Amino acid sequence: MSSVAPSPARARKSRALSGTVRAPGDKSISHRSLILGLLAVGETRIEGLLEGEDVLATARGAKALGARVERLGEGSWRVHGVGVGGLREPLETLDFGNAGTGSRLMMGVVGGSPIEATFDGDASLRSRPMRRILDPLEKMGATVVSAAEGGRVPLTIRGPERAIPIVYETPAPSAQIKSAVLLAGLNAPGETVVIEREATRDHTERMLRAFGAEVSVEPHGPHGRLIRLKGEPELKPAAIAVPADPSSAAFPMAAALVVEGSEVTLEGVMINPLRSGLLTTLLEMGADIRLSNQREEGGEEVADLVVRAGALRGVDVPPERAPTMIDEYPILAIIAAFAEGETRMRGLHELRVKESDRLAAVHAGLLACGVEARIEGDDLVVTGEGRVPGGGPAVATHLDHRIAMSFLVMGLGAQNPVGIDDAAMIATSFPDFVELMRGLGAEIEIEIGERA
Ligand SMILES: O=C(O)C1=C[C@@H](OP(=O)(O)O)[C@@H](O)[C@H](O)C1
Ligand SMILES: C=C(OP(=O)(O)O)C(=O)O
C-alpha cells in the first residue's frame, strides 16, 4: 500500500489574479489512452498526457500487463501495445495508489482476459467500493479469487478464456462501471450492451471508436444512454492529443471568480457536454465567463475561457446535472460560499464514495471556515453572504486532492488565511497546481514536502 508524507499548506487573500494558463491534460482521457494503447497492437502516440500520480500508476499497470511504455518528453508518450489477446499476467501487485479510475478500468481489462492480477492502493482506494465493478465482471465470467471485506482492494481477479457478452444496466451513474464492462467486452464474442439511466462521460466510447472498435450509442429514457460494443475487434493504434482537463481548470477558474479584480484566460479547456455542468451552473450564477476560439482538439470540443471576477448569486443545481460535474461539487461549494444567497446542490449520493466522503468533507471544511452550510439527505446547501471569513483550524482533506485544492482556492478570496492538513495528494491530478496558481499571482505556502 502506497503512502505519501503529508504537506500542510495555506493560502491567503490574494491580489487580483491575472494571466493566461493551460490546465493539465484531462485525467479521464489520459488513463484511457494508456489502456487502449495497451490493448491495440503496435505504437500509440500520446501528446499532452497528464503526468499526475494517478495516471503514472496506470502507465505502470500497462507495462506490467505487457506494453512497452516510454516517455519521450513532457506529456509526450509512446505505448507499444500487445493487443487484447497478448496480455501478460503481471508478476507483482498492481498498486494504483489513489486512483479509482485507473484501478477500476484495469479491473475491466483483467476481468475480461485469461490472466490473474492483484490490485491495491492507498488508504483512500482501500475504502472505496469495488463490488460495483466485480459484479458485472463476474457475470462476464471473471472469478474474484480474493478481496478485502466488502469487496475492496487488495483484491485478486482472474478473467475467463473468453468473456461472456452481457446486457448490463449500471446501478449508479458511473463512467468507471460502464468503462470496465466495455473493456471486458472487448474479449467477448458478440455484443456487450451497457445501459445507463443517466448519461456519464463518454470518453471510453469515443476512444474505442478512434482505435477501430464498433460502438453505437442511442438515447435511453429521458437522461440515459444505451451503448453497444461489438466484441473481439482488432484495435489499431491511434494518435491521441489530450485536451485540457475541465475538472482541473475549475480551480483557477474558481479563483478568478472569487478574487476581486481578477481576469484569467484558460486555454483549450474541453467542453464536452458530459463534462461541462459546472460551466452551465456558473453561468446561471451570473459568472462572467466568455468562451472563445471554439474548436476541435483530439476528437473533443475545446474552447478558451476568459473568466472575470464579479458578483454571483446562489442557484438550485438539479440532480440530473450531477454526472456532468460530479468532480466539481467541492469547488462549486466554495464558489457558492462567495455568492449571495442559497445554493442547493441536489442528488450528491455518489460524492460519498470518492477519494473521501466529499459531502461530509466539504461540509466540515465550510463550517470550519465560518460558512453556513448543511446537508439535507443527498443535498448540500450553502448559504453565501458574498464574503467568507476563513481562518479556523486546518481543513481535513482525507487524502482527497479536490478537497485540498478547493480549500486553498477559498483562502485566496477569504478574509483570513485558509489552511489544509495535506497538499500532497494534489499531485495525483494536478502536479503543477501550486506553481500555476502562483504564476497568476496567488499566495500559497506549503510547509513541508513541497514538490517541484
Ligand atoms: O471514468 C472516469 O474517468 C471518471 C468517472 C467518475 O467516477 P465514477 O465513474 O465513479 O462516477 C469521476 O468521478 C472520476 O474522476 C473519473
Ligand atoms: C473521483 C476522482 O477520481 P478517481 O475516481 O479516479 O479516483 C476525481 O479525480 O475527482
pLDDT digit string, tens, across residues 150-198: 999 999 999 999 999 999 999 999 999 999 999 999 999 999 999 999 9
**4: pLDDT confidence band, cut at 50, 70 and 90?**
low
Predicted TM-score of the model (pTM):
0.98
How confident is the prediction for the chain on average, in pLDDT?
A: 97
Q: In what order do the strands lie in the sheet with 152-158?
A: 94-95, 116-120, 152-158, 143-148
The arithmetic mean of pLDDT across residues 307-331, rounded, is: 98
Over residues 103-158, the pLDDT tens digits come to: 999 999 999 999 999 999 999 999 999 999 999 999 999 999 999 999 999 999 99
Q: Which of 327, 352, 433 to mutate to test the pocket of ligand 2 (most atoms within 8 A of CB)?
A: 327
CA of 102 to the centre of ligand 1 (A): 10
Query: What ipTM goes with this model?
Result: 0.99
Ligand minimally distant from the alpha carbon of residue 105: 1
Residue 202 a catalytic site member: no
How many whole angstroms from 428 Cα to the centroid of ligand 2?
9
Question: 78 by DSSP, 3-state: which?
Answer: strand
> Could you tell me if the CB of 100 is within 6 A of ligand 2?
yes
By alpha-carbon position, which residue is closest to atom 11 of ligand 1? 174
Q: State the fold for domain 9-25+243-446.
A: UDP-n-acetylglucosamine1-carboxyvinyl-transferase; Chain (3.65.10)
Distance 176 CA to ligand 1 centre (A): 5
At residue 449 the predicted structure's pLDDT band, cuts being 50, 70 and 90, is low
Exposed e or buried b for every residue in 268-282, given b needs 16+ CB within 10 A? bbbbbeebbbbbebb
- Bridge partners for 219 per DSSP: 225
CATH class for the region spanning 27-241: alpha beta
Assigned C-alpha cell, 191: 455484443
Q: How far apart are CA 77 and CA 245, in angstroms?
A: 18
Query: Could you tell me where in the chain the CATH 3.65.10.10 domains are found?
Result: 9-25+243-446, 27-241
